[in-house]
Amino acid sequence: MTQVLHAAERNPVVRAEFHYQRFVIARGRVGGIWILLAALLMIPALLISVGLIIVGLAALVYAPALDLIPIVSETQSTPFIFVLAVLLTMMIAMSLVVTFINMALASNSIRREKDGKTWDTLRLTDIGANRIVVGKWWASLRALNGDYVMATIIRLGFVTLFFASVAPLLDAFRQAEARQAIVILRSIEFLRPLPLILILTLIYSALDAALTAALGVFSALPDESTGTIAGSAALLVRLATLVGAALWMYLSLEMAATAGLLMGLIGIGVYLLLIAAVLLVARWSVG
């Protein structure tokens, strides 16, 4: 894996495309509006997420720390609702925004060459189809690494909140019929699988970004007669995998530890196969 990454970094297509895309991103984000939106929306969500992750992991060693994470209670539920709303809203918003921007950047990396009449010249060089596809894909992936880091932190914070506060709530509703009342019992047991799930979430986030960039590159490769169909198909696949991954992750969280881990590993395998398949088709499209 390390050799593959080193080879990608030495790819001249990666260097040229990465610098161009960083320039486009920087130019597009200049201005007070972006900074204001980041301050009002992203910073609170990031701070909450980091705090939840630290406290959640600390609670595994020092159980009383769990009380610092808000939960629904008879006396006070507002903090929990606020934290849940902020994280859920920003997680969905960031996933969609970063996905569309990444696909647009990856797709434009090919269309820009075609519009500038340099695509055929690039194909005739000794760089090769594999390096062209991998270079465009890897540069598009790297260009938004900061955004993906922020999106991943928010996902990790949401996962921590799920185990610390949402899981006890769901368990209370399941047991309500037998108890004749809803009794929420906080327990450190809900947090036991947290480190493993956080690692799986990191892997899912990285693979999700890789698939987005691969689909973006693929969508722009076919000729004009089939370009619209390829672009629509790539977008539909991306949206389907986005929703499917969220549902799969939720089902994994809901299942017992062993079964949930197995589902998580299956999901990772599916992602890897999809990425490899899209890149292979893209390489074939180059000719």
CB 155 within 8 A of CB 205: yes
Show the tokens assigned to 27: 């130019």
Structure confidence by residue, pLDDT tens digits, 56-71: 999 999 988 988 998 8
The domain segmentation of the chain, as residue ranges, is 32-286
Contacts of 279 (CB under 8 A, 6+ apart): 133, 134, 137, 214, 217, 218
Identify the three-state secondary structure at position 222. Answer: coil
Quote the pTM value: 0.83
How do residues 87-123 score in pLDDT, each as one tens digit? Answer: 999 998 888 888 888 888 888 888 887 777 777 777 7
Tally of CB atoms within 10 A around 122: 16
Arithmetic mean of pLDDT over the chain: 80
pLDDT of residue 276: 92
The pLDDT assigned to 155 comes to 93
- pLDDT of 185 reads 67
How many Cβ atoms from other residues are within 10 Å of residue 186's Cβ? 19
